[in-house]
Amino acid sequence: MPYLNEIDKEGFSIINNVFTENEIENIVSLIENKTANNQANTTFRKSEDLFAIRQFHKEVPETLDFIFNENLQNIIKSTFGEGFFIKKAIYFDKPEKSNWFVAYHQDLTISVDKKIEVNNFQNWTVKQNQFAVQPSAEILEDNFTIRIHIDKTTKDNGALKVINNSHSKGILRIENLDFKNNKETICEVDKGGIMIMKPLLFHASNKTTNNERRRVIHIEFSRQELPMGIEWSEKMEFSMS
């Protein structure tokens, strides 16, 4: 488990050279083909500062054979074990002149198929015609996210910045986080590299300043069964050879 200790301690790990240039080119080609023919799709979000495809694993499933290559499968199995499924996936394209930025936050909500009043499930909302809810901390703590970098990501084109080890403090209001006495890391990742992170890790991103594009595939994983017949609304199993 070469990355698990770092993820447990810091809340994240950066691993470069997970995808070859050819694999990245194939993924990009499939995305471009799909977006060229589906501009009116409601899961596609487009503005001057951001293009996003929600439910990416369902909208562009042809990419999954390239995404779950031998390297990524080995990383998932050796770090977390088996039994995980995709619970959410988003493709982000931050254009060269983007002024899009995201303030520090934890990823606290999950997408589910119905609203049922359950203990420790709170802050119900509806987003993109799906129910979203904040589940118990135990569910969030067992999940993990992998961010696949289609472009080289640096501090100048909106790389994530994180507060190291902030995932270990549970669900926390931002004003209760002690920024002065915690380390901040800017997570620069090479093209074809990945970042693994825990959802309770505080993370943010700045505006682009160097006119370089930043494209990322953000995939969230879980192995949790939800209570009271609630189901993950975007759940998809993936094959591990």
Beta-strand relationship, 184-186 and 214-222: unpaired
Whether 163 is in a domain gets the answer yes
What CA–CA distance (Å, rounded) separates 191 from 18?
Answer: 9
CB atoms within 10 A of CB 131: 18
Whether 122 is in a domain gets the answer yes
Whether 206 is in a domain gets the answer yes
pLDDT of residue 98: 73
pLDDT of residue 1: 64
Asked if 19 and 148 touch (Cβ cutoff 8 Å), the reply is: yes
Work out the widest C-alpha separation in the chain, in whole angstroms.
49
Please give the backbone phi and psi of residue 13, each rounded to the nearest 5 degrees, phi first.
-155, 140
pTM for this entry: 0.94
pLDDT of residue 220: 98
Whether 241 is in a domain gets the answer no
**How many domains in the chain?**
1
Residue ranges of the chain whose pLDDT lies below 70: 1, 38-43, 45-50
Whether 126 is in a domain gets the answer yes
CATH label of the domain that carries residue 83: 2.60.120.620
**pLDDT tens digits, one per residue of 196-210:** 999 999 999 998 889
Beta-strand relationship, 203-205 and 144-149: unpaired
What CA–CA distance (Å, rounded) separates 174 from 2?
Answer: 31
| Domain around 154 | 4-229
Whether 16 is in a domain gets the answer yes
pLDDT of residue 100: 77
Whether 240 is in a domain gets the answer no
pLDDT of residue 208: 87
pLDDT of residue 199: 98
Whether 238 is in a domain gets the answer no
CB atoms within 10 A of CB 97: 12
